[in-house]
Amino acid sequence: MVRIAVIDYDLCRPDKCNLECIKFCPINRSGSKAIELSKSKDGKPIIYELVCVGCGICVKKCPYKAITVTNLPDEIERRLIHRYGVNSFKLYGLPTPISGRVLGIVGKNGIGKTTAVKILSGELIPNLGNLDVTPSWEPVLKFYRGSEMLQYLSKLVNKKLRVVHKIQHVDLIRKYVKGFVKDIIVRVDEKGIANEVRKYVNLDSCWDSSVATLSGGELQKFAIAAALLRDADTFLFDEPSSYLDVYERLMVSRAIREFTKNKYVIIVEHDLTILDYISDYVSVVYGDPGVFGIFSKVYSVGSGVNNFLIGYLPSENMRIRAEPIVFDRFGREVVGKSEGEFLSWPNLRKVLDGFELSVKAGEVRKGEVLGIVGPNAIGKTTFIKLLAGELEPDEGYLTTNMLRVSHKPQYVKTELFKWVSVEEAFKELCRSSQLACSDWFQNDVIKRLNLHKLFLRGINELSGGELQKFAIAVALASDADIYLLDEPSAFIDVDERLTVCKAIKKVVEVRKAVAFVVDHDLTVIDNIADRVIVFNGVPGVFGNALSPANLKHGMNVFLKDLDITFRRDRRTGRPRINKPYSYLDRYQKSIGEYFYESPVEEAEE
């Protein structure tokens, strides 16, 4: 067995603790040194993995949850590709690019996906775990001798591959790219297809805008367009669907497939429906976030996503999940609630900054979760703010001011919270809400979202993903009658999204409350919603919110507007997008069934 000891040096604070990890280490107390302070880490502890016996005492004694010690089989260690430093993250294996095919990567955050992309782009030279020498490509090529990866890396090292990398955090583009969208797009166009790409990704709305003024979705489309216009051999797209609505996600997916033919293409994506739609093959990354990550062999896209959800990789004979994730195969009809109607609203109208929103009359029952779907800039967030009491309707009325409302907004900012630290926030919530300190909430929400590791962090120190998870947990821990969650899946990985879905449903059931959830990930909506409210109209001009409908009917209306069809996967029941003009796509459109057609899907596979 190989022992991995990882210390999160962002969490470790020896100046504020009693260094009990060192004092109580049995190896240290016997006279040897398994853990001690190191000058190279600014006076922070360092664990010697060859001496450590893996007793776990240091892990339990650390008040900041900064230490992790785990064991891996010796054969896994032979696949070690990169380690960032002593007691730092380890990456095992790499996904093998396939020329002319799109390779999708799926896995949790902090498990090595972005590291692998940096290696395959040539931005990072892997050190094979050897921290004593300067990394170089020669030992890496020797390491991959006799494998398919050697061909790709040899071309990369010998400058025979030109690589374009669409980064994960597109908001950074504002800092480094100046000018107007149209000027930059024309300047980077190396293929002479600027107008075609512009049409595919719908850049018309921001064509004359300055990059500094672009929204998150506009920045995403701008970055993807700029990448596709390059005459490159390898295209790497890290989370291309972030900030985009369902229609825009499909547009950029089609653009990527259309303008990268016969190239190496790698996609890192958390939206399973989009990953399934755009990819030909899938590699699953598993392990312990922040500690180690292991890349699986390449699977066909259907099998790969299913293996990830079921939690078993047959080629590796490896179980990566304690319980499989299985979806309802046939959708959920309206379920009669014993408590009856909880909240109703008449026809509503709101005009805001030139935008007009009309809402059809509707109602929600206790214990029910309503999903809200529609394009960006169509009024979904405005409707949530009306329910939250932050806006007043111009016509109609809402009685939510008589109820307790918990609202997780679309854009989460640190100044929204009155607490200084994460721990202080949850302590106060425990005093006002019994559910917040229940064993179930602590185990299935706090720990599964890894928020317990952030307790001693200041809220202003949290990253975007950490702040999102914190805001979701705070919203769910609040003692409320109505829970409003605007895009809870943003910045978090697949497992965390499904954990949030489970938590929302559990909280609503226990409190006999209701929840409204806005999200662009249709896997999330399918997993969580009892019914849906569909928004349509002209983005930025006017929006129409239909009355709540059962999941099948509502999604059928929504998908018909998008002109796409979904089917159910036979093994997991997850929703899958049919390829345009495929037999199933044409058949389901001919019978008016845009959402679920299980019998035909079973016959196909």
Tens digit of pLDDT for each residue in 283-300? 999 999 999 999 999 999
Q: Angle at CA 110, nearest 5°, toward 497 and 134? A: 165
Give the pTM: 0.91
What contacts 257, CB < 8 A, 6 or more positions away? 102, 278
Distance CA 293, CA 85 (A): 15
CATH of domain 2-77: 3.30.70.20
Q: Distance (Å, rounded) from C-alpha 588 to C-alpha 580?
A: 11
Distance CA 566, CA 543 (A): 24
Is 333 a residue whose pLDDT tops 80? Answer: no
Mean pLDDT for 106-121 is: 96
Given a cut of 50, is residue 559 above it in pLDDT? yes
Tell me the C-alpha distance between 454 and 456, whole Å: 6
The three-state secondary structure class of 6 is strand
Task: Give the span between the Cα atoms of 132 and 301, in whole angstroms.
Answer: 39
Q: Above 50 in pLDDT, residue 176?
A: yes
Q: Which amino acid is at 492?
A: I
Task: Give φ, ψ of 539 to 5 degrees.
Answer: -50, 130
Contact 35, 22 (CB under 8 A): yes
Contact, 269 vs 285, CB < 8 A? no
Q: What is the pLDDT of residue 600?
A: 44
pLDDT of residue 13: 84
Is there a contact between 150 and 141 (Cβ–Cβ < 8 Å)? yes
How high does pLDDT run on average in the chain? 92
Question: Given its phi and psi angles, is residue 56 left (phi above 0), alpha (psi -120 to 50 degrees) or beta?
Answer: left
Average pLDDT over residues 308-337: 78
First to last CA, the chain: 41
In whole angstroms, how large is the CA radius of gyration of the chain?
Answer: 25
What whole-number distance in Å separates Cα of residue 29 and Cα of residue 471? 42
The 3-state DSSP class for residue 541 equals: coil
CATH superfamily of 80-315: P-loop containing nucleotide triphosphate hydrolases (3.40.50.300)
- The predicted pLDDT at position 598 comes to 60
Q: Distance between alpha carbon 349 and the CA centroid of its chain, in Å?
A: 34
Task: Report which of 252, 292, 251 is spatially closest to residue 82, judged by C-alpha positions.
Answer: 292
Which residues of the chain does CATH 3.40.50.300 include?
Answer: 80-315, 341-562
Choose the CATH number for 341-562 among 1.10.599.10, 3.40.50.300, 3.40.50.2300, 3.20.20.140.
3.40.50.300
488 CB-contact burial (10 Å; exposed 0-12 / middle 13-18 / buried 19+)? buried
Query: Who has greater pLDDT, 328 or 457?
Result: 457
Give me the pLDDT at residue 328, please: 66
Q: Kindly report the three-state secondary structure assignment for every residue of 242-298.
A: CCCCHHHHHHHHHHHHHHCCCCEEEEECCCHHHHHHHCCEEEEEEEECCCEEEEEEE
Query: CB-based contacts of 442: which residues, under 8 Å, 6+ apart?
Result: 452
Give the pLDDT of residue 602.
42
Q: How confident is the model at residue 525 (pLDDT cuts 50, 70, 90)?
A: very high
Instruction: Quick: pLDDT tens for 210-240.
Output: 999 999 999 999 999 999 999 999 999 999 9
Q: Do residues 293 and 89 touch, judged by C-beta distance below 8 A?
A: yes
Range 489-494 average pLDDT: 92
Q: Where in the chain is the domain with CATH 3.30.70.20?
A: 2-77
* Banded pLDDT at 205 (limits 50, 70, 90): confident
Cα–Cα distance between 101 and 17 in angstroms, integer? 52
